[in-house]
Homo-oligomer: A and B are copies of this chain.
Amino acid sequence: MIAVASAAEERPARVSGIDKIERRRVALAESALKTLGELGYARTSLREIANNSEFTHGVVHYYFRDKIDLISYCVRYYKTKCARRYDEVVETATSADELGAGFLAKMTQTLVEETPMHRLWYDLRAQSMFEEQLRADVIAIDQLLEEMIWRILSRYAELVGGEAAVDAATAYALMDGLFEQAVVGYAGDPAGAPERLAGRVSQILPKLIITT
């Protein structure tokens, strides 16, 4: 897995200092993510990020080697927050229906409440096809998301007393297709998108299980 410290190898090793640096970095990243989620990768400049934060544009360059380093850090920071979204539901659900309902609820919730982040993710994944510096991080996140979906599906199969009818990569691609459609649609017309997503997912989920 990729370490989250990349541009700081040659910085002084005082422990408290590193902690402080790391905290500044996280603050910068959080601010940058807000701007990135709003404007997208193409239209976000370092100055815009700095303006929307409490820092000046020089500070950004003090804590990150260059733009890619910052964005890359943001992506890796983001991943740590997103791929564990459904863990609680998976762990606490005691029936297939409960798991399904919890999954759908969390899914539509994050669609609505974290729209900018999802927009950014699909944007960055597209960018990774053109900028190979982003590729490794994107692949890592995709892997995490795939595992997330797989945990849900295999647990669902277990509760229903069957087994998954497709492999993890396929299941992820299908679910992601539905979710991306919802995110894109939500950008144009927020009304009804969550319900449509929920309907489609609950329609598909049973088809990915073979009851033995």
The answer to the question of A16 belonging to the interface, with a C-beta cut-off of 8 Å to chain B, is no
Contact A129 B187, beta carbon cutoff 8 Å: yes
Chain B residues with CB under 8 Å of A175's CB are 177
Contact B178 A170, beta carbon cutoff 8 Å: yes
Contact B166 A125, beta carbon cutoff 8 Å: no
A199-212 to B contact mask, C-beta < 8 Å, 1/0: 01001100110000
Contact A127 B203, beta carbon cutoff 8 Å: no
Q: Nearest B residue to A170 by beta-carbon distance?
A: B200
State the Cβ distance, A13 to closest chain B Cβ, in Å.
35
The answer to the question of A4 belonging to the interface, with a C-beta cut-off of 8 Å to chain B, is no
A134-149 to B contact mask, C-beta < 8 Å, 1/0: 0100110010000000
Q: Nearest B residue to A138 by beta-carbon distance?
A: B184
For window 84-142 of A, CB contacts with B under 8 Å fall at 119, 122-123, 125-131, 135, 138-139, 142
Chain B residues with CB under 8 Å of A176's CB are 177, 180-181
Contact A43 B130, beta carbon cutoff 8 Å: yes
The answer to the question of A12 belonging to the interface, with a C-beta cut-off of 8 Å to chain B, is no
State the Cβ distance, A111 to closest chain B Cβ, in Å.
13
The answer to the question of A194 belonging to the interface, with a C-beta cut-off of 8 Å to chain B, is no
State the Cβ distance, A164 to closest chain B Cβ, in Å.
12
State the Cβ distance, A95 to closest chain B Cβ, in Å.
23
- Which one, B130, B135, B181, contacts A123 given CB within 8 A? B130
